[in-house]
Homo-oligomer: A and B are copies of this chain.
Amino acid sequence: MRKISDSTVRRLSVYLRFLEQATTPTISSGELARLGGTTSAQVRKDLSFFGSFGKRGLGYAVPELTRRIRDILGLERGYRVVLVGAGRMGGALVQYHGFKQRGFHITAIYDQDARKIGSRWNGLVVRDVKHLETDLKKDPSDIAIVATPAEAAQQVVDRLVRSGVKAILNFAPVPLNVPPDVEVKTVNMALELETLSYSLANR
């Protein structure tokens, strides 16, 4: 299996959304392109990674394509996700419907603030972050979401990595250092606004 580029993976995620909402047994590359904001040629190229199973004039079989994309994205198995940082962003993330829908289950929430520890969030009790290592030893997680203040993030990430976490979604506005076998995605909302600001200032 060839390595798929990050941008192709993102488009597959987008196609999957529409496939899951489709009410017809087949869908054309043109329709997927329209829904996904891209071109038919791009759709056909993206889906050619799976071998050729679209039929010219008939389009793709929705159930088969859905299954193939879910499989390639690793979504068939479901993931346990721990969240570190019970601030405002953490609160929005815990209740974010999209995660559970896609098989990402937040199974534990940690914070170091005594005022937050013990409070109940969406059915989970916020735990003292000092238990992070022992909890992960008992119940390993592949994925962690870090929503701590910037100054705490690297130390939290080091602890997660030592506890075997292999993928981190980072909301702290700071780049994180991890070993090569650990994957990090950073989502920085202010930075997104700054790229918009740049394009407004330089139009």
Is A41 close to B, CB under 8 A? no
Is A181 close to B, CB under 8 A? yes
Whether B89 contacts A166 by the Cβ 8 Å rule is no
- How many protomers of this protein does the assembly include? 2
Is A176 close to B, CB under 8 A? yes
Whether A193 contacts B9 by the Cβ 8 Å rule is no
Whether A102 contacts B194 by the Cβ 8 Å rule is yes
Is A187 close to B, CB under 8 A? yes
A50 to chain B, nearest CB (A): 13
By the criterion of a CB under 8 Å from any partner CB, how many residues of chain A are at the interface?
63
Q: Which A residues, 13 to 56, have Cβ-Cβ distances below 8 Å to chain B?
A: 13-14, 17, 35-37
Nearest-neighbor residue (CB-CB) of A90 within chain B: B92
A107 to chain B, nearest CB (A): 14
Whether A73 contacts B185 by the Cβ 8 Å rule is no
Bitwise, A59-77 to B at CB < 8 A (1) or not (0) is 0000000000000111101
Bitwise, A142-161 to B at CB < 8 A (1) or not (0) is 11000000000000000000
Q: Which A residues, 166 to 203, have Cβ-Cβ distances below 8 Å to chain B?
A: 166-169, 173-177, 181, 183, 185, 187-203
> Contacts A189-B98, A194-B73 given: A199-B37 contact, CB under 8 Å?
no
